[in-house]
């Protein structure tokens, strides 16, 4: 019987080659991304002393395609990116763009004044300013030690 030394790095290299060959087949990748993954816009949420600032990437969409609802505890965003149909007789078109409907609920860490929300949509970026409710603002209280 021959004793062989096991090298885990060889197996990782084999796995990486298999994944690379799988991803080279564009039909497999498009099938995976069309059916199995949920698509929604990426967000960025920044908290300041007075407000929450929410940014969403929504390239290629117009404001009329968006529905934004804000409660005291969450932001609900839905929309639809519609496909531009082009009929060309020559060539093949491959697209990685996602067309269709999406929904996203973003829970908020503090209560906000949902009647004072301001929005700005420019160059595919939606900026929402969500002012904090008075009770949600940090107040400093001095603690006396006995």
Share of the chain above pLDDT 90, in %: 19
Share of the chain above pLDDT 70, in %: 76
- Residue 81 pLDDT > 70, yes or no? yes
Q: Are 60 and 124 in contact (CB under 8 A)?
A: yes
Contacts of 80 (CB under 8 A, 6+ apart): 65, 100, 101, 102
- pLDDT per residue over 33-75, tens digit each? 444 445 678 899 999 989 999 999 988 888 888 899 998 888 9
- d(Cα 129, Cα 51) in Å, to the nearest integer? 7
Among 49, 75, 64, which Cα is nearest to 128's?
Answer: 75
Eight-state DSSP code of residue 60 = T
Say which range, 32-36, 78-82, 106-110, has the weakest mean pLDDT: 32-36
- Helix (H), strand (E) at residue 12: helix 8-24
- d(Cα 55, Cα 29) in Å, to the nearest integer? 29
pTM for the full model? 0.62
Residue 137 — pLDDT band, cuts 50, 70, 90? low
- Residue 2 pLDDT > 60, yes or no? yes
Strand partners, 44: 55
Q: How far is CA 32 from the centre of its chain?
A: 18
Residue 138 — pLDDT band, cuts 50, 70, 90? low
Q: How far is CA 139 from CA 135, 142, 144, in A?
A: 9, 10, 16
At 108 the three-state DSSP class reads coil
């Amino acid at each position: 019987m021959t004793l062989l030394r096991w090298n885990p790095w060889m197996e990782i290299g084999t796995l990486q080659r298999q994944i690379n060959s799988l991803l080279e087949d564009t039909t497999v990748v498009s099938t995976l991304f069309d059916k199995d993954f949920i698509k929604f816009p990426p967000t960025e949420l920044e908290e300041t002393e007075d407000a929450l600032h929410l940014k969403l990437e929504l390239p290629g969409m117009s404001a009329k395609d968006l529905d934004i609802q804000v409660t005291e505890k969450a932001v609900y965003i839905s929309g639809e990116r519609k496909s531009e149909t082009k009929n060309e007789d020559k060539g093949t078109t491959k697209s990685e763009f996602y067309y269709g409907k999406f929904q996203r609920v973003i829970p908020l860490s503090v209560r906000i004044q949902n009647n004072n929300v301001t929005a700005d949509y420019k160059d595919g970026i939606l900026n929402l300013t969500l002012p904090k409710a008075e009770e949600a603002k940090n107040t400093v209280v001095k603690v006396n030690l006995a």
